[in-house]
Amino acid sequence: MPLFSVIVPCWNAEDTLEATLSSVERQSFPDFEVVVMDDGSTDATAAIAARFAARDCRFKLITLEQGGPSNARNVAAFSYAKGQVLAFLDADDLWVENKLLRMAELFCRSDAPDALYGRIGFFRAGSGTFEESSVRTYSTVKTEALTPGDLLRENAVCTMSNVVVHADAFKASGGFDTTLRYGEDVEWMVRLIADGRRIEGLDEVLVYYRTSDSGLSANLAAMHEGWSKTLETVRRADPALGPREVAAAEAVHLRYLARRALRVRASRRAAFDLVLAALAKSPRGFFSDPRRGGLTLLAAIADLVMPRSLRKFAAMH
């Protein structure tokens, strides 16, 4: 039995999968298996994964009908993964070479948490060779274990590519809610914490996240719907959560959606309307990060009057 089972859900990922799997193959800690879950791809995704499986017995390819990434992760974890620890990785993200080594060192401690995450570098790139100079910004980690309220305000973990969790803890949680298209990672983590499990962060950059202006993260309304579902789970986990805290958390989420609307160049009023909704919910929450709140407000106002050509330039910066 390997220590780690790396679970990689993928669908039509031929442009990025080879770089993603190579970042696992180069890990300095060798005690792992990789379960690639091809979710009904129609491009060369399966062929790329098969090449890795042919040259390295730690890699295996499982083919599914299209059921979405949450379903693919659940099937891998419950039916195929043999490792004591599950490490999730999306098919367009990258790991630093000592990612699994650092996780192994921390999980060996007597006071180890049930799940770990690190910092993330966000970059824009095509399928070419990754360069650290392309990283635009970095995430931060909390010094304490995450709480349901933390996750309701902002997802410090950012992506499932950043999560490593004991297999028994994941299975006890029931896995991901496959009815959700957005926010299923946060909703799952809230349930994990509600079960008495700890999720802690490591203040080291371990993952590089490929940003995109298209795909799932561009559907703003559905993202807010996913947040509302998470709110239901948080309320069950923490009945003492007050209305002011909920309003502040929703304002932070709406601020994030406004910034997302600017990046994906949504309809001209989209970002401004989201800012207004956030301020109506909780000015305190919206300006909980004064710099981010102020810049988001100014950008949303500017977006109302900015010429189309300048909107495209501003969204990229």
Centre a 10 Å sphere on the Cβ of residue 267 and count the other Cβ atoms it contains: 11
- pLDDT tens over the chain, length 317 residues: 999 999 999 999 999 999 999 999 999 999 999 999 999 999 999 999 999 999 999 999 999 998 899 999 999 999 999 999 999 999 999 999 999 999 999 999 999 999 999 999 988 766 456 777 778 789 999 999 999 989 998 888 999 999 999 999 999 999 999 998 888 999 999 999 999 999 999 999 999 998 765 544 457 888 888 889 889 999 988 888 899 999 999 999 999 899 888 877 777 788 999 999 999 999 999 999 999 999 999 999 998 887 655 554 444 44
Question: Residue 258 and residue 271: Cα distance in Å, rounded?
Answer: 4
Task: Categorise residue 311: left if φ over 0, alpha if ψ from -120 to 50, beta otherwise.
Answer: alpha
CA atoms within 13 A on the CB side of 231: 17
**Could you identify the residue written with the tokens 């950008």?**
299
Give the per-residue pLDDT at 213. 57
**Could you identify the residue written with the tokens 């509302």?**
228
Give the per-residue pLDDT at 301. 92
In 143-232, DSSP assigns E strands to: 164-166, 199-210
Give the per-residue pLDDT at 34. 98
Question: For residue 210, what are its two tokens?
Answer: 């490929």
Give the per-residue pLDDT at 309. 55
Helices 220-237 and 184-194, packing angle to 10 deg: 10
So where are the chain's domains?
Answer: 4-216, 242-315
Burial 175-208 (b: 16+ CB within 10 A, else e): bbbbebebbbbbbbbbbbbeeebbbbbbeebbbb
Are 46 and 38 in contact by the 8 Å Cβ rule? The answer is: yes
Question: For residue 168, what are its two tokens?
Answer: 């028994």
Give the per-residue pLDDT at 129. 66
Q: Which CATH class is domain 4-216?
A: alpha beta
**Could you identify the residue written with the tokens 């990785």?**
89
In 3D, which of 169, 181, 223 has the Cα closest to residue 70? 181
pLDDT, tens digit (0-9, with 9 covering 90-100), for 7-61: 999 999 999 999 999 999 999 999 999 999 999 999 999 999 999 999 999 999 9
